Amino acid sequence: MPAVATALLAAALAALAAVAPGAAAIGSAPAANQTAVHLIFSSHLDLGFTDMDNAVIDLHFYTHWPRAIQLARWFDRHGGGDRFRYLTHSWLLSLYFDCPASLGITCPAADERAEVADAVRRGWITWHAAPFNPNYEMFDSDTLGFALNLTRDVDAALGARPKTVVSLRDVPGLTRGVVPVMAAHGVRALTVGVNGFSAPPGVPKRTPFIWRDEESGAQILAMWHEGGYGGWHNNTHADDRRDCIKAPGFGHALCVSWNDDNAGPPASPAEVQKIYAAVRASWPGARVFASTLEDYVDALAEAAPGLDLPVVTEEIGDTWVYGSACDPLRIAQYRAALRARARCVRDPDCDSESPAFYRFSRLIIKVAEHTWGLAFLQTIGDVANYTNAYLRQRLEDLEGEAGYARAVESWQRQRDYVKWAVEELPPGHPVRAEYESDARQRLSALADAALTAANPAAAPGGHEAARLPLPPRPAEPEAAAGPGAGAGWLAAAARWLGLAAGLGRDGPIARAAVSRRLRAAGPEGVGVGGGSAGGPGGNDNPHLVFKSAHWEFELDPWAGGLSRLARLYPDGSGGLRPGNDWAADAQSGPQDGGDSSSGGGGGGGSGPPRVPPARFLQLQYNVYNETDFDPIWDNYAFIHPVWTGDFGKLNLSASSTLQAQAVPFLVDVIRVQSNSSGLVVQLQYEFPHRLVSEAGAPAGATLTLRSPSDSPALRIDLAWRNKTATRLPEASWLRFTPGRGAVGEGSWRMHKIGSAVDPSHIVLNGSHSIHCVSEEGVTADSPDGGERLRIRPHDAPLLALGEPRPFPNPNEGPDMERGVSACLHNNVWGTNYAEWVPYSQEDASLVFRFTIEAEELPAPAPSAAEAAPAHSQPAPAADEAAAAEELDGAAPAGAAPAFRVELPLAAPAPQVGGASAR
């Protein structure tokens, strides 16, 4: 810490000593054979949900903390030895003492800051080691490190003991990837109180255990409480003996009194006394006292070597992270900011140690906090009608629809945290410049896609384009001979499109007859005949086979994805040889995609179209009905039927029973190739009309594949155009389905916060199918183990493993033969998530970018092969390391240096000081 910072902090603490000459003594150790019951008073923090985020912050500043201070003062004077101590959150304290008025919060006066600092010194107000309650998978390791160090900064600035225990409430779980980062930043323990509705992870409950990351060897103590933030008994927020954390042979117990969402401390001394009485009734003869998480873990850590605690090594995951795709633009902007930040902290020429960079980092981590807006049922609460026509009427008169308007405002404010964070940086700062450049790139990609959709001859970058011929489709349903034949053909066509029942003759197949007309003209406008001998799922059209300097791939015009994909490597004689084919079938058998009895692979070209196989880079749209939520009620609900209006779509069937899974129509293929830019292929899609008008499908989409001459990476841009706003539950996907036998069994790995996670190594009631990955993405190896494929989702990090479904899957391991799918967007969760997209003009058209890489792996030495784990991690090739340096948010190995900020505790006016190390 620089001398000026030391002097400022010393002066502030000296000033506080004058107003707080001493703190009340904390209770001593219990007598022999007497249980010490550590009682924690707290309240759940939602930065939103019950009110706008800025109003919630003000509520804590000016209602909850003053009330906690009043209670603590009363008990110190009249409590008869009992005390009151209140656990809050370091992010709030950081804002309080270094207040960003730009958030719309009310900044405290000097005397108010001094009073809170005095309460901290007296032990009345404390906090835990994390800034708030996040969805941890939304962090990269850099920002998680910063979040933990922000707490240490608050500790140091307020002269408090360093916090080493993390509290997480509401969110049911988190990834094992946090363990090495937390341990490296001094975290000793984690305590979790699971939302009462949600299935609690299959780990030991209400007793300590060791959570160990075997790859790194790091471990922390962990404690899980199911069924709520804490106990609720006799109309009192208090644990009874069953709820408290305890272990055989250990003379300490941890009990909590955790108040409701943003409810703050108890309302009166009498309520606190009632809580004490309830806990003492459960622990006759024990010494019950107001404590801290640190004091309890001190005792636990000392005793742990002799307690034979259970050890958990599996992934747990976050079954709530599926809600993060409700606002895809917010996530894309957030990821862009994380990439720019990660690059800056690794660049010695980039200013990452200024107060401005610190304030940027402090606001950007808020995006990972688990609140996304106002509570739906309490704000909109409209479950009478889910139709698009009804929604359009509400949105057209938004000023007259106060609930709808406030909900949209709350979603926009949560999105704006990215903007507010970036605006903390001065113009021209490398992070701000890169973030703004990324935004321009997204807009440019959208403009290219829109231009090509309007004029297929206009190639990206001004190069000459060739419109490639597509094989002809069977006639539209109206052209089928006779009513019986027409009905049968319609059903077959519905199966081919992957559409579920409920789409009749006025549905998407019939109504899209004109829009799905295949532009089957070549560059000279010559029609193409024949070429369909392969049938749906096959491809005999040589125009749809592409080769660049680094990749070769083949388009399946029936399924709209790739039927071949291989990286090209030098063959040693001046030529190129293909590596593993990640998309083609290496085995026989029914392909994923629908009714296997209808076919799906190649084969005869006569007869009605078959169900298209799931393909690599296949776009898919789903709309769901109430029956799709049954697995939540049957397998995930811990307390049922409470909160069905939050976790489902209450009364949806009264408005819609529409249920569909659709692969859009491929209507154009445009190829651009030049010596300077490499190969560019654009695929134009249109969605069935009914799904556009009655559900939320976009009018069209453009998938662009770029294989630059100077890079072995395959760049993918997927742009949707003019998405329809809908309240019907929906999800959009980009599937990465490998060919049968194209991927080595058990080789898939998800990369979260710097750790590689095996999708088959997840606890019961953990997140088996939905995961949010870091910029390192997801990897899989070839069957012979000689090559590795990496998929990096830059803007859409939420992945579904196996079958693409957005719902939590607590108990079934995914079928990894179906690969992974990037969830571009879903709105299936209510609670406080964005109910429809677009909710602003910005997100009607969006682009999602991915990078696909492949590299050959060095053969392990024979002796090492016998000792290596099943999925060893070889050193990355130079180009992969460079890509990681550019895009990844992973921190370098080893403990990260400390962050710090100077908080002006007793100064007459707000001051900003301090700096952050990397």
DSSP of 293-338: HHHHHHHHHHHGGGT---EE-SB---TTGGGGGG-HHHHHHHHHHH
User: What residue numbers bound the domain in which 130 lies?
Assistant: 3-21+34-198+203-315
pLDDT of residue 883: 42
Which phi and psi angles does 329 have, rounded to 5°?
A: -70, -40
Q: How does pLDDT run across 387-445, given as a tens digit for each residue?
A: 999 999 999 998 889 999 999 999 999 999 999 999 999 999 999 999 999 999 999 99
**Tokens 């990897």 — which residue?**
779
Q: Angle at CA 593, nearest 5°, toward 592 and 598?
A: 100
Identify the H or E element spanning 117: helix 110-121
Identify the H or E element spanning 450: helix 430-454
CA–CA separation, 756 and 771 (whole Å): 12
Which phi and psi angles does 599 have, rounded to 5°?
A: 90, -145
**Looking at the domain assignment, is residue 305 inside a domain?**
yes
Structure tokens at 667: 């209507």
pLDDT of residue 460: 59
CA–CA separation, 640 and 326 (whole Å): 24
Task: Using alpha carbons, list the distances in angstroms from residue 507 to 499, 726, 866.
Answer: 10, 17, 58
pLDDT of residue 487: 35
The one-letter amino acid code at 542 reads: P
Largest CA distance in the chain: 95
Helix (H, G, I), strand (E, B) or coil at 498: coil
CB atoms within 10 A of CB 235: 8
Structure tokens at 17: 């000593």
**Looking at the domain assignment, is residue 208 inside a domain?**
yes
- The closest alpha carbon to 775, from 526, 403, 280, 438, belongs to 438
pLDDT of residue 5: 32
pLDDT of residue 880: 35
CA 461 to chain CA centroid, nearest Å = 33
CA–CA separation, 85 and 68 (whole Å): 8
pLDDT of residue 825: 99
The CA-to-CA distance between both ends of the chain, in Å, stands at: 14
- The closest alpha carbon to 581, from 559, 552, 605, 541, belongs to 552
Left, alpha or beta for 110 (phi > 0: left; psi -120 to 50: alpha)?
alpha
pLDDT of residue 473: 52
CA–CA separation, 611 and 439 (whole Å): 38
pLDDT of residue 298: 99
CB atoms within 10 A of CB 457: 11
Helix (H, G, I), strand (E, B) or coil at 823: strand
- The closest alpha carbon to 449, from 695, 708, 662, 716, belongs to 716
Number of domains in the chain: 1
C-alpha dihedral (851, 852, 858, 859), degrees to nearest 10: 150
Identify the H or E element spanning 388: helix 388-396
CB atoms within 10 A of CB 436: 14
**Looking at the domain assignment, is residue 283 inside a domain?**
yes
Structure tokens at 708: 């630059």
CA–CA separation, 220 and 211 (whole Å): 6
CATH number at residue 144: 3.20.110.10
Residues 669 and 681: beta-carbon distance below 8 Å:
yes
CA 638 to chain CA centroid, nearest Å = 23
Length of the chain: 918
- The closest alpha carbon to 882, from 858, 905, 853, belongs to 853
Mean pLDDT of successive 10-residue stretches along the chain, which has 918 residues: 32 35 37 81 98 99 99 98 98 98 96 99 99 98 98 98 98 98 99 96 98 97 96 89 96 98 98 97 97 99 97 98 98 99 98 98 99 95 95 92 96 98 98 98 92 73 71 44 32 39 33 29 25 41 88 92 97 96 78 37 36 86 97 89 84 96 93 82 95 98 96 98 98 98 97 96 96 98 98 99 94 93 98 97 96 93 48 37 41 33 32 31
CA–CA separation, 536 and 615 (whole Å): 12
Residues 768 and 740: beta-carbon distance below 8 Å:
no
Mode of pairing for the β-strands spanning 678-686 and 545-547 = unpaired
Q: Which residues contact 500 (CB under 8 A, 6 or more apart)?
A: 659, 660, 661
- The closest alpha carbon to 187, from 147, 243, 154, 159, belongs to 147
**Tokens 């916060």 — which residue?**
753
**Looking at the domain assignment, is residue 592 inside a domain?**
no
**Looking at the domain assignment, is residue 181 inside a domain?**
yes
CA–CA separation, 555 and 120 (whole Å): 64
Structure tokens at 683: 């695929």
List, as one string, the DSSP characters of 241-289: TTTSB--TT-SEEEEEEEESTT--S-SSHHHHHHHHHHHHHHSTT-EEE
- Is omega for the bond preceding 838 within 30 degrees of 0, making it cis? yes
**Looking at the domain assignment, is residue 127 inside a domain?**
yes
Say which DSSP state 542 is in: G
Helix (H, G, I), strand (E, B) or coil at 720: strand
Burial of 207 from C-beta contacts in 10 A (0-12 / 13-18 / 19+): middle
Facing residues of 167 across strands?
A: 191
**Tokens 């560059």 — which residue?**
523
CA–CA separation, 584 and 613 (whole Å): 11
Residues 618 and 561: beta-carbon distance below 8 Å:
yes
Which phi and psi angles does 756 have, rounded to 5°?
A: -95, 125
- Is omega for the bond preceding 641 within 30 degrees of 0, making it cis? yes
CB atoms within 10 A of CB 643: 17
CA–CA separation, 399 and 97 (whole Å): 37
CA–CA separation, 68 and 882 (whole Å): 51
pLDDT of residue 494: 40
CA–CA separation, 456 and 466 (whole Å): 9
Q: Angle at CA 411, nearest 5°, toward 62 and 331?
A: 115
CA–CA separation, 776 and 21 (whole Å): 52
**Looking at the domain assignment, is residue 220 inside a domain?**
yes
**Looking at the domain assignment, is residue 275 inside a domain?**
yes
The one-letter amino acid code at 733 reads: W
CA–CA separation, 562 and 613 (whole Å): 10
Q: Which residues contact 341 (CB under 8 A, 6 or more apart)?
A: 142, 143, 360, 361, 364, 431, 889
